[in-house]
Each structure stands twice: as structure tokens, then as C-alpha cells.
Structure 1
Amino acid sequence: MKKYTTIILLSLLVLGCGSKKHADDTTPPPTTNETAELISFKFNESSGQTINETKTNATFSINGPSGSAERITGVEGKALRVNGFYGWATGKLNVSYPTNKVCVTAWVAPSAFPVQRKDLDQLSENTNASLFSNVNTTTNAGVALGIDQYGRIIGQFKVGTAIVNIVSDQQIELKKWSLVSLNINGLSGLASLYLNGVKVKAIAFTSGNIVWDNNATIYIGKESKIKTIAGFDTNGLTGAIDQVSLWGKDLTDAEILTQYNKVSPAIPNLKIPIETRFAEDIHRPKYHLLPSSAWTNESHGLLYIDNKYHLFSQRNYNGPYLEHINWGHYVSSDLVSWEEKTQVLWPQPGFDEVGIWSGHAVIRDGQPYIFYTGVNKAKAGIGLATSSAPYDSWIKNGAPIIANVPSNIANADFRDPFVFQHNSDWYMMVGTGLRTGTARGGLFLYKSISTDFKQWSQQGTMLEGNPSADGTGDFWEMPIYYNFGAKSIVLINKLPNANALYWTGSFDGSKFIRDNVVPERLEVINHLLSPSIHPDANGNLTAIGIVPDGVNSAKHKQQGWAHVFSLPRVWTLVNNKIKQVPHPNLLNLRGTSKNFTNVSFDQNSSNVLNGASGTQYEIVATVNPGTATRVGFSLNKNLAIGEQTLIYYDFTTKTFVVDRSKSSILPDVPTSNQSSNYVLPAGDIRWRIFVDASVIEVFVNEELAFATRSFPSAGSNQIDLYAQGGTATATDLKIYNIQGGGTASVSKNVELKEDTIHPVVYPNPSTENFNFKFYNIEKTTAVAAYVFDINGFPVKKIEKLIDSENTVVNWNGYMDNGMKAREGVYIIKGFVGNDLFDAKIIVK
């Protein structure tokens, strides 16, 4: 970027003016020969699946389903939005193309740079997401102007028998309007590229006639070549296009600058119109974090800095398929409401030119660092990037900090760094598949030997698997290390058959010493993968993972987005097992509720919840299994067409089950069953279930968790209880409506409902020892709550059993971090049984 800025400044000094005409300059601008404009697209149609070429009035079709064409405000009037795998325009014109001189000009505002196919394209083969292309892909006759996979301006044309390519040295800016131009003079053998009125590249070629194919299809927003992956066109532009023109002459430098100075476009609004684009999508979640469109998968780099949470993820902005990975970026103040930001890292020429794969982020002395896997087809290296507030832009280190796979240890691959501190030293572990002897997963270990994280010393392997004994496969990716105090954990995502597994143990500075050979499963039923962790504002270890769709490419193409992130969870380590509960901030999503008590149900029961239904809700229930052998819920139910998703515990087989065999009559969606053995203790089962369109997250007994996906037909939204083999009772059950929408969840701060309990607090105000007295307590009841500070962050977890004779809960005024609460207003919020309660606390 510095090089580009220097070129711009030098060029402007030569021209003697800024990029825009100075207000006091009375010199008339050079006159452009407008009659030389042979082809012109203005894109000012207000709607419809067509655009018009204004010189011939020819109609071009916009690729995509009926009604999918989108316009935004352009440099003048409207502009055409192109979405990577659809949205470009095609047609033919009856014009006489010039064979001596030609110029193509176009305004473009890219949201992302186009795809280079990792396994199909040579590194030397540039994508040309064309703004204008009429190239015959067999003879290569014609002219194309566009941007390549690195955001560089690229032109292609044929002179005589030679195919000429010209590529700029720098990239254009994302999410801003830029004027790009290609000048070709076949007589003199010169071609030039221009960016915002300034010449940025010039080449010489053997002079001759420019060769055209008058019958070739013209593409606006896509390369003429057919390049696909899994049914997706991969060489379309993602962003917006305006004012595309082809001129029957080569414009002078002054004339091109005049074209640039004609308009002063505002920053384009390239945000995806979620509410209109996905208005009919019944499967798109509303309060879970997910991409505005296209592809995401592994989450990584969860950070909390300057009172904001930052989450990064694998991201292809060009379509809902895995290719040309960027690092997406999301920001939140509460882990519940998220805003999608511009990507922070993307492939550039060098060691990461194929993809910016997974990694991690840490904060050291107030400075955040990103560590990522850079891929260039031949090998992987570990990259480093840094940023400063507000952390929207990140600067890559020019070279990898770890250049390649360790050569002295046979391995299959090398990716996904995770950096952690042990005592005063910093370490990095990197996932791999070891190939000495038995194929197995492993973690390479490195130690930082510089304060800027740019130099690392190889330390061998930190941990190795033994598939026959521990079932951890032959490759490990997305590792995690965390020290809970008395114990540490190492979590890996094993391949094949991806699964998140972890061990407890201790790290001695070179090896992780496991407590047991066989790891624990993170999820009771395996559907959440690759969690990213970071302490929240109050020090609670918070995790967010990916919940894959599990659908095929046809479904991804139809819906236009892929995958969703889990709700934030709090992890604690109890008896050497990770306990997972929903983050307390999720309470803010709750709206109105339906309440039920002592509901009996058996295998002959139906509609025991009186027609309860919904697509975005939370269930909180205590269920006494009684004599039933299977107990749980029937969700997304529609008896008329036989759809339902069953989630239950089977006491006979001691198994949690997700029965999706009747979950949908739609094609291209998963209907396989999921199950896993787990021995539940006798007694009541406490459930918290979050349903958000196609995603379901389940929490059991405030320790177990699993997620799944279900894609029912429209109208399959009934909520019911399920039992087999006997009679069970839901002693307490609430269904909370949840509101939300947008790229990420939008929490609704609802007014307190009449069913919210308000205990008496005394003394209040006070410096310590606050008592919360509950009334109408008739049996032993669990109280589970958090004390929140005025900013909404939890500072103290409170758990206690109360009964008819002991109805008071106490808080001594100290926070979980051991410090005394500062003066101010606090809120306690939680459950007494299954009832929500809250109260205001004033600390003097």
C-alpha cells in the first residue's frame, strides 16, 4: 500500500493537481471525444433481471434466480451488485470493434477479491473477474478488464497471434469505488493500466491488429472462462460495478483523469440486504452468529480488548463453498449482538497466496497478535499480523515466522497454530499428522525467542496420539491449550471423522503430560467443531465453535450461505471434565414466555403443551423421567406431514439421541440420526434447549452440551414433549420467545414480565452481605444466578439450594476474581427453579 501511495503522489505532482480538480483552478478540463464511446452500461434500471447497453439499447440478462438481481447506489445513479457466484450480466452486441486502438473504463467497488482454485489453477494463472470481457475462450480473441485474485487490475487481449496480459503491481481498495482503465494501442504496441486516473502499469508488446470475435458473449462482472467448484462458478466478481464503457480509441492520460474527476462517489453500501435477500429462508438462524452470506467455517481468535469482543473465522466471501479463504471479522460488546466487519486478512502473492487458513490470536502487553496458517500449494507456513485500535485493519509480517514443516520429523501436514503463555515463556503448538511408524495425530511445539513473536525455536512434539488406544485418528487440527489452575487441558479436533476431544493434565515446558490415555469428548453428540476460547470481561472462559450445516452443495447454493457459529458458552473444569453452560448474557435474548407445571406425558400423548410453537425460542425444563424409558422433546413437529425432530435420553441404552429420520421431507438436507452413550445419574433431567430455525443447541444438567441441525418444511414448528415406555412429568417448563435478526444476533432488551420474581434484598444499600429472600418456596429448589455489573458483565456466580425453611441466598460483596465489588449499581439475575428472577443491588 505504501508503494501504491507513492506512485499516486508522484503522478499527481507530475500532473500538477490533486486527484480531484481544485476549486480555484479555472483551466478547462481536456475534452474527451464522447463519440468514441462505442459501448456503455449505466446500470440505472430500478429492478428486474436485465440491464440495457445504452449505445445500442441491447438487453443483457442478469445471471441468477428470478428476482435475485440487486442494485445499490452507484457513482451516479444505481450500480449492479455482483455476488461472486451469481449476479453478473451477459449478452451480445452488434458493434464494429476497433482493431487499432481501444480503451475500457469501469468503476468497481469489490467486497472481496475473486477466487483462485487451490487444486485446479496454476499459481501463474490469474483469475480475471472481469468488469468487461468478450473473450472467445477457444481462440482468446477479445478484450477483458477486471481484477485478479489479489485485487490487482488485470487486462487481457489478443494482438495478431499473441495473447497479451498486463497486471498492476498493487491491489485496489476493498469496499471503495475505484475507476480502472485499460488502454491498448496496437499500432505502437503499448498497453497501460490506470487506477483512479493515474497510470500504474505500462507494457510493450509486438504491434499488430487487435483481434476480436464479433459473436462472442460479453460478460459484465465475470470472466469469460468457465471455472467451477462443486457446481459454483468461481470467477465472478463480488462487489459492485458501475459505468462500464468501451471506447473506439485509446484515451489520453488527461482524458482518463477527466473520467475520474467527473464524479465524487460516496463510500458504497455493500452490506448484504439480509432482510430482503433471505426473507423467504425459513432455515436461516436469527440470533446465532452467522455470515451475512457465502461461506464460513472454523472460528478462531476470540479476543476481548478495549471493551469489545472480536471473533475471526474462515471466510469465502465469493460463495458458500470452501475456497480462497480469508479471515472474516465480527465485533460485539456482549457476545450476543454481533456486527460483521471487513475481512482482516486475505491471500496475497507470497507464502499465503492460496489461502489464509486457521490460527489463533492473543494479547500481549495490550497488543493483539494474529497467528495464521498461510498456504501456497507447495507448503504451509505460519504467518503473523498485528493491529491497533479499533482493530479493523491488520498488518501482516512480510515473511512467515515459521517458514515450513519441520523437515526432521515425517508428517502429513502442518497447520493451525495456537499460542499460549506458560510461566514467563510463550509457546506455539501446531497441528499435524505424524508419519513415523503408525500414522497418528500430533502437535509440533515451538518456543518464542523474541518479544515481537517473529522468532521461534522448534521444540519437537508436545503431544502425540495413539489411534489404536485413544481413537484420535491420524491428524489433529485446531488445537487448544488452557490452564484452569490446578489442571490444564489440551483439546484437538481429530481427523478423519472430525470430533473435538480433550485431555486434562499438565504442561512441563516441553511435553503435555496426560492424566489419561483416552480423551474426553467435548460434546455429548458430535456436531460442534473447532471452538475458539477467550476469557470474557469477568474472566469466565468463553467458547464459540462452528455448527456445520451438514447439507450438500445444492442446498448451500440455494440458500446462499453456509454454516453457523454456536452460542457463547462458559467452560469450567470440574472433576477433570469440561462443564458447558450457556453464557449468562444470553438471558438478555428472552422475551415473553409460556409456562407449564406438572405436565404428565407418555407415548400416547400429543400436544401436551397446548399448541406451543415457534422457530426462535428457548426451552427451560425440569423433567422427572418417572417410569419412561425415553424422555425428551419433539421439535419442529407437524403431524399433517409427519415431520418431527426427536431429542431424548434413552435410559435403556444410556444414550442421548437426536432422531432426524422424520425431520424433513425436503431434499438435500440431513436426515441421519445422531447418538452417543452417556450415563446420566438418577433423578430429574434439567434441560435448556435453544432453537433458532435450523440450529438446535442442547444443554443438560448444567454440564453437558451438544448441537445439531434440522431443516423442516415451512409450518413444521410445533413444540411437544416425548416419552416412551412409561409416564414422565415435566415439573417445571418454560418456553421463551427469542427475537433477533441481521448478520448476527440482535439482542432485545425486553421489559420485565409479570412472571419475573423480585426477591427482597436486605440490607440494600450496603457494603457487603446482601441477602435475597424468596417467598412461596414449598420444596427444595435450586437457585442459579449471576451478579452483573452496570455494564452487563457477570462478576459473581451464585448457586444454592433453598427450601421452605431456608429461603435466603447471600452474596458477601466479593467477585469471583477475589476482589471486593466497587461502589455502584449491580443486578442479580438468574433462576429459582425454572422461574426467572432479578433484583437491583447498590454497593456503597
Structure 2
Amino acid sequence: MSLIYDLPFREGKGNQTKEAISGNILPIHYVFNHAKYKASSSPNWVESPVSGYAVDFDGYSTYIKDQPLEVNGSFSISAFLAPRCFEACHGDVPTTIIDQINQSSQQGFALSIFRHGEVQFELGDGRNIYRFRTDRQLELFTKSFLTVTYNQEELSVMIYINGKKELESTNIKYFRPADIALSIGLNNHLFEISEVFKGGMFAGLIDFIKVYDHALTDEDIQKEYDKIRDKRSVPLEDIDLDEQKLLDDVHRPQYHAIPPQHWMNEPHAPFYYKGKYHLFYQKNASGPYFSHLHWGHWTSDDLVFWQNEKTALFPQKGELSPSGVWSGSATIGPNNKPYLFYTFANLNKKYNQGVAIARPENVEDTHLVDWKMKPQGAIYQTDQQGIPSQFRDPFVWKDETEEKWYLIIGGGVKDKGPTVWIYTSTDCEHWDFKGELFSVDSSLYPYLGTNWELPVLLPVRDQQGQVKYAFIFMSFFDDESKYEVDTYYYLGEFDKQKAQFIPDTIEPELMDYGRFKFSGPSGFVDPVTNKTIVFSILQGDREEQEEYEAGWAHHAGLPIELFLENQALRIQPLENLASLREELLIHESNKSIEEVNHKVKNIQDKMLEIMIEFEETENLVGLELKKDPANQEKTKLLFDKANDRVWLDRTESRKDKEGDIQGGSLKLDEGFKAHIFIDHSAMECYLNQKKMISSRAYPVSSNSDYLSIVGNTDIRIKSIKIFRLQSIWKQKEMSD
């Protein structure tokens, strides 16, 4: 009886490892072994007091393939590992640890982790594949010692977690080995999430995997566990996604809030607590694709410089949120305690969405890194509340004058139109339904969708203290439509007595002209400054294969301030962003375009803030941004006063891809003013505080970072300032 397979991961660096029994050198497949947008690098290796090192499997590209392992008769598998997340959102898809199952011949074995951390073992006898699954779940971010045994003499299977027997099954059929490649971290029969991304891949640290040619005894297993029992804890920085890994990506923004790696969707649930701002976001820690919805978490002292925190909320086993933890919001509730309100998702049900609550584990922790999710929902969709499974994204705020909280949630009524429901509470736990806050008729305004997502209702003020409310939402289509999803707003009044929103106009306006690049709105009134602040996603604009190769997708837009002027909504970047300024490159006043272009021609940088004001003119004016010296790539921001139009021309943004034009109406009785932020591929343009265009540019040329002013050479520039901005992420020296 002996050890027949041993992966100890002793190398500590590089992109290959040695299997100790055969001596085979095995490549570790990893997307950045041959990186496209950054310097090539190997997978992360983390020091381990047990085996020397552990390899970090990123959840979508890291895996090892080996020749078939000859297993006959009894055998055991041991593994020491720490999962970072589970495959919660794709039904019966296990996350592979070691896999030599052949589905076609119904032979082989596999050890994996099921949806919410249950340990799963599979055996094939040539006719069927038998699955054994524990009730007990593994812990995230903590190392667990797993052992499975198959005893052919006793025809039994046993599964152990940290030395304790969690499952025993007898009368098992004879095992039949499979002549198929052995996979580590990769399911041999991948679940297709899309043409590019596949499910069933392990995310986290693996210290070692061992296979024995006999069934280990309880005593054997306990003895092995005793050796490592006190070595299970893992520092968060060792297992969490490494924010340093992508800092040299040519297209990845550097001064925006962004997850360490992988994918995000809408930022949400901002609040201020004990000197810290908190902002959460929809997160997938398994890869840069839409799935496995968790709540990521940032903290900040100033809404500009952010810190990545531990993932806050996870999908949970049970009836409430097994399929994902979707978007929501936050408030400071009774007794000055923070509350998170999230959309729970159980896709096994017809009415599968509603609102649930999470509270901090430790209210004295200013970073609030640990959250406890209540096992019961706070609000459930009823059969009188519109389209099933279109009931999500709660937005909560406290009344300014009394101990009352309001909650709105997006939905829609079939053959009627999109709507938002409203509730009230005096304790943030129990909610009273008050009806519809606001709805529209789909037959009159089909472009506004069949239902609404991410509704936000925020007060906005002018300098005299007059208040209106901005109702912001995203259109959504429950069926095929010729219209595009986008973000809109109404300005109007909130009637607290009737719990209804009364708009000033019958139709809303676009929040941003960037064709869905600005989306996922959320916001709050900052209790420190009393400013109304809105957060958003700045959506990416690449194919899935490009996002696979980049290792990230999307990030937060810059925080913006909303205010009133002349009964109209005004938009500007948050003034705190001035702290990003590293160097003033240009400061000129009352110069011709020709003179200014002579000054700016040598500016080349991927992180810039540009503030420019043109004298009033009927002629076309604007800027060329992200421009290469050969003038083959550029993105143009243009304003045409004669036609009251502003637009971003992306038709030449990238040499190898056709672009588009994004824009809309802009009426001015003054000169054109643009406040522009460029952060690698991200571009945000704030125009006379009236409109904004958020967009993207991914030039092919590495030096497409120049700019110039557009217009007749004698047109005057009233003022221009250009700043070089700094990264909010501190770069450390990386080891291979």
C-alpha cells in the first residue's frame, strides 16, 4: 500500500510543477503565462507551512492536466485547500479539485466542491456515475483538509472534512477506472457559461493533492489532520484576488474604484459610518464574466482613494438566496447601526426575488468587513406585484424629519408598464407596502422598458435650499425589443403623504449620452457635506475573449454630484477628485486654438484631467483624445452650437475595430465647457454641468495618448488646465 500520486507544489514560482511520484513536469495553464495587455506573469504562489507553497487557482483560467492515473481497486484522495468562492449560480455544476471522470463510458472518479461548499465525490462503475455529497459545507478563505476513501472490499465510500467523517455509504458498486486525462482544478466536462467562459473550475488555494492505492483508515486520516490542524488559517491578502496583478495593464483604469481582478457590475449601497465611506458592488470572484453574484466591498476616507475589503455577502444554501446575492442599498438604521438590503435570488421558484437584510458582525469595526445575513427575507414579491422574477434592487433611505425609512424596488406589470413599488418602516426590519411610487404606460413610452431596474430617488438642492427629487432608473426588457437598455432620470416632487413621485415632465432624459456605458446607478446624500452623490458602472466595451485575456471587466464610474440650477438638474464630478492631481501640465487663458495646440502637443499620458472653456462660437469645436502621432487612432469630443449637438466620435478610436458615435442635444447660451477625465481606457466628459458622456477607447497603438484642440485656428480658448493624475492603487514590487 502506497502513495501513487503526489502534487506538493514545492516550486514557489513559475508556471509548471512536478508530480512527485512519476517525476512528470506539468504545465500550469494560466491566462497570463502569455499575457496580451500586460507583462506576462506566472500564477500566484503563496507560502504554506504545510507543503512549502500553495498555488492560487484563479477560477477561470488556471488548471493542470496530467496523463491518466492508473487506479484499480481501493483508493483514497487527500487534499488541503482554501476556496475563495463557490459555484453557486449554475445548478448542479461542481467545482473540480481532481477529476478523472469519463461521462461517456460512465467510469472514473472525481473529487469536487458543490454549490455552496458541500464536498462531492463521484464514482463510475461503467453503467452509472454515483454521487456522494456532504451536508456540511467548507469554509471560505480557510484551509480545509479533505479525504475521500473507496474501499473495494467493503464496497464503501467515506468523506472526511478536517479529520471528521461526514458521510459514509455502503453497498457501492465496483469502481471502474477511466482512461481519460487527469484534471486538477478543471472539470473534465465543463459547463458552458458562454462560448468563452466555462464553469466548474476551482477558485482558491491548493496546498497539495495526494492519491493512495488503498483506503485510509480513520486513524490514518486523523493522524494526518493532526499534523496540519493548526495551519488552516490563511491571511486574507494571501487568498483574496491580488490587486497588484493587473496594475500594468495598458487599458485598466488606475484612479477608479475597481475590483482587484475579474468582473463587477453595479456599485451600490453607499453609506458613511464612523469616519469611513463604504461602497459595495456586484462581484464575481471566479472570473471576468457575469455570474456568481456576491457583494464586493470598498472603503474610503474621501470617496476618491479606495481600499479593497473582504467580500461582504455570499450566496447561501437554503431557500432564501442560493442563486446569488443581487444588487441593493444601505442605510443607517435604528441605534445608528448600518443595514444592507439586498436582492435575494432563488431561481428554483417562480417568484424568485425579494429583499433580505444583512447586519455587521462587529459595529465597532470601522471597516465593517464581516456581515451576518438574516436567514429570512424582509419583503417577498406577491402574485399581485407584476411580472414574476422582475422584482429587485431595493433602494432605502431615511426620512429627514422623523424615524421612518422608505424602500423602493423595481418591477413591471405585464401589458401596463414598468413600475416602482414603495414600502415604509419604523425599524428597518418590518416593512409596510404603500403601493406604486411611480409607473409609466409602455404603449406610450416603449423605449422605457417592460420593467425598471436599480431605481433611485434622491433629493437635489439649489444654492437657496430649494429641493426637488431625481428619480433615476434603468430600463429593462423582459422580452425582445428594438430599444436599448439605458439609464434615465425624471426631476419632480416626492409626495410623502401619498408615497408617490410626481414628475415635472411626461418623459425622462438620458442620464448620460454614452450608450449604456454609464449604468447601474446608486447614490446617497453624504451626511458630511450634504451633497447628493451618484455612483455608476462604467461598462467595458470589449468582446468576451478580450475580457478573458485581460482578466477584468468593468469598474465604477467617478462619483458625481447632482444639484439644482434654474429648476434643472445639473451634474458635475465630485470636487474631492482634485486630490488626484499630481502635476499641473498646462494652464493657459485667452489663447487661440493654434497657440494652445502648440502647448499641448507634447503631452502624452494615460491619466489626465482636462478643463477647457471655449469662447462662444457657431463653429464646430472640441478635442481629439487618445490620439497617436500618426493620426490613425483618436477619439473626438465635438460640439456644434449651430445644431445644438454634442457627441463623442469613436469611429477612429481603434484601428482594428469599427467604432460608433455617441451623443445628443446640448443647448447653450455660453461657450462650450468640457471637464474631461481620461484613465487609460475610461473617458468621462462633463459638459457645461448639463450633460455627460461616459465612454471607452481601447487603442491598439501603445502611444495613443496625445491630444489636440479642434476648431478654426483663430477660435479663442478662454481657459484650459490639464493635470496629470495619480493612481489610487499603490504598486508593489512583483515577484514572478
2:561 aligned residue: 570
Query: Is the 1:160–1:208 contact (alpha carbons within 8 Å) kept by the matching residues of 2?
Result: no
In structure 2, the CA distance between the partners of 1:607 and 1:114, relative to structure 1 (3 Å rule), is farther
**2:110 corresponds to 1:112:** no
Query: Is the 1:412–1:434 contact (alpha carbons within 8 Å) kept by the matching residues of 2?
Result: no
1:579 is aligned with what amino acid? Answer: R
Residues 532-551 of structure 1 mapped to structure 2, 5 A cutoff: 532-536=522-526, 537-551=528-542
Query: Is the 1:41–1:245 contact (alpha carbons within 8 Å) kept by the matching residues of 2?
Result: yes
Match among 130, 136, 146 for residue 170 of structure 1: 136
1:360 aligned residue: 329
2:590 aligned residue: 598
For 1:148 and 1:89, the matched residues in 2 are separated by 20
1:711 aligned residue: 698
Residues 472-491 of structure 1 mapped to structure 2, 5 A cutoff: 472-484=448-460, 486-491=467-472
**2:237 corresponds to 1:248:** no
For 1:133 and 1:382, the matched residues in 2 are separated by 38
Residues 508-519 of structure 1 mapped to structure 2, 5 A cutoff: 508-519=497-508
2:15 is aligned with what amino acid? Answer: Q
1:561 aligned residue: 552
Query: Is the 2:412–2:418 contact (alpha carbons within 8 Å) kept by the matching residues of 1?
Result: yes
Match among 674, 686, 690 for residue 673 of structure 2: 686
For 1:129 and 1:116, the matched residues in 2 are separated by 12
Post-superposition offset of 1:302: 0.8
Post-superposition offset of 1:447: 3.1
For 1:160 and 1:664, the matched residues in 2 are separated by 54
For 1:717 and 1:218, the matched residues in 2 are separated by 47
Post-superposition offset of 1:510: 3.0
2:413 aligned residue: 434
Post-superposition offset of 1:167: 1.9
1:819 aligned residue: none
Post-superposition offset of 1:635: 0.7
RMSD: 2.5
Query: Is the 2:56–2:205 contact (alpha carbons within 8 Å) kept by the matching residues of 1?
Result: yes
**2:373 corresponds to 1:396:** yes
Match among 617, 637, 644 for residue 608 of structure 2: 617
For 1:102 and 1:545, the matched residues in 2 are separated by 53
Match among 663, 669, 676 for residue 664 of structure 2: 676
Post-superposition offset of 1:452: 4.7
2:441 aligned residue: 466
**2:170 corresponds to 1:205:** yes
For 1:190 and 1:59, the matched residues in 2 are separated by 34
Residues 617-766 of structure 1 mapped to structure 2, 5 A cutoff: 617-626=608-617, 629-640=619-630, 642-667=632-657, 671-682=659-670, 684-713=671-700, 714-723=702-711, 727-742=714-729
Query: Is the 2:105–2:126 contact (alpha carbons within 8 Å) kept by the matching residues of 1?
Result: no
Residues 327-476 of structure 1 mapped to structure 2, 5 A cutoff: 327-349=295-317, 350-365=319-334, 366-377=336-347, 378=349, 379-387=352-360, 388-389=362-363, 390=365, 391-407=368-384, 409=386, 413-422=390-399, 423-435=402-414, 437-438=415-416, 440-448=417-425, 451-453=427-429, 455-467=430-442, 469-470=444-445, 471-476=447-452
1:267 aligned residue: 234
For 2:383 and 2:421, the matched residues in 1 are separated by 8
1:129 aligned residue: 95
For 2:144 and 2:307, the matched residues in 1 are separated by 25
For 1:686 and 1:188, the matched residues in 2 are separated by 81
Q: Secondary structure at the match of 2:102?
A: coil
Residues 14-163 of structure 1 mapped to structure 2, 5 A cutoff: 36-65=2-31, 66-67=33-34, 68-70=41-43, 71-74=45-48, 75-93=50-68, 95-99=69-73, 101-114=74-87, 116-117=89-90, 123=91, 125=92, 127-159=93-125, 161-163=127-129
Q: Deviations over 1:108-130 (max 9, x none)?
A: 1122113543xxxxx4x2x2222
Residues 496-511 of structure 1 mapped to structure 2, 5 A cutoff: 496=477, 497-503=484-490, 504-507=492-495, 508-511=497-500
Q: Deviations over 1:98-153 (max 9, x none)?
A: 31x22111111122113543xxxxx4x2x222221111122232221121221222
Gaps of 5+ in 1: 1-34, 118-122, 746-844
**2:293 corresponds to 1:321:** no
Q: Deviations over 1:367-424 (max 9, x none)?
A: 1111111222232222221113332121112122223344364567211111233454
Query: Is the 1:524–1:656 contact (alpha carbons within 8 Å) kept by the matching residues of 2?
Result: no
Q: Secondary structure at the match of 1:580?
A: strand
Query: Is the 2:253–2:681 contact (alpha carbons within 8 Å) kept by the matching residues of 1?
Result: yes
For 2:243 and 2:386, the matched residues in 1 are separated by 48
Q: Secondary structure at the match of 2:260?
A: coil
For 1:676 and 1:743, the matched residues in 2 are separated by 38
Q: Secondary structure at the match of 2:623?
A: strand
For 1:192 and 1:247, the matched residues in 2 are separated by 14
In structure 2, the CA distance between the partners of 1:412 and 1:198, relative to structure 1 (3 Å rule), is closer
In structure 2, the CA distance between the partners of 1:743 and 1:381, relative to structure 1 (3 Å rule), is farther
Post-superposition offset of 1:645: 0.5
Q: Secondary structure at the match of 1:652?
A: helix
Q: Secondary structure at the match of 1:711?
A: coil
In structure 2, the CA distance between the partners of 1:424 and 1:709, relative to structure 1 (3 Å rule), is same
For 1:559 and 1:624, the matched residues in 2 are separated by 42
1:235 aligned residue: 200
Gaps of 5+ in 2: 35-40, 461-465, 478-483
2:254 aligned residue: 286
2:480 aligned residue: none
Aligned length: 689
In structure 2, the CA distance between the partners of 1:170 and 1:202, relative to structure 1 (3 Å rule), is closer
Post-superposition offset of 1:313: 1.0
In structure 2, the CA distance between the partners of 1:410 and 1:666, relative to structure 1 (3 Å rule), is closer
**2:188 corresponds to 1:224:** yes
Match among 298, 305, 309 for residue 277 of structure 2: 309
Query: Is the 2:666–2:691 contact (alpha carbons within 8 Å) kept by the matching residues of 1?
Result: no
Q: Secondary structure at the match of 1:687?
A: strand
Q: Deviations over 1:457-496 (max 9, x none)?
A: 3333221113454552322110011234632232211135
Q: Deviations over 1:779-813 (max 9, x none)?
A: xxxxxxxxxxxxxxxxxxxxxxxxxxxxxxxxxxx
2:380 is aligned with what amino acid? Answer: A
1:175 is aligned with what amino acid? Answer: F
Match among 488, 511, 519 for residue 529 of structure 1: 519
For 1:631 and 1:178, the matched residues in 2 are separated by 62
For 1:170 and 1:105, the matched residues in 2 are separated by 17
Query: Is the 2:77–2:211 contact (alpha carbons within 8 Å) kept by the matching residues of 1?
Result: yes
Q: Secondary structure at the match of 1:134?
A: strand
In structure 2, the CA distance between the partners of 1:337 and 1:116, relative to structure 1 (3 Å rule), is same
For 2:26 and 2:539, the matched residues in 1 are separated by 37
Q: Secondary structure at the match of 1:150?
A: coil
Determine what percentage of the aligned residue pairs are the same residue.
24
For 1:316 and 1:184, the matched residues in 2 are separated by 35
For 1:452 and 1:639, the matched residues in 2 are separated by 58
Tell me which structure has the larger Cα radius of gyration: 1
Post-superposition offset of 1:288: 0.7
Query: Is the 1:164–1:205 contact (alpha carbons within 8 Å) kept by the matching residues of 2?
Result: no
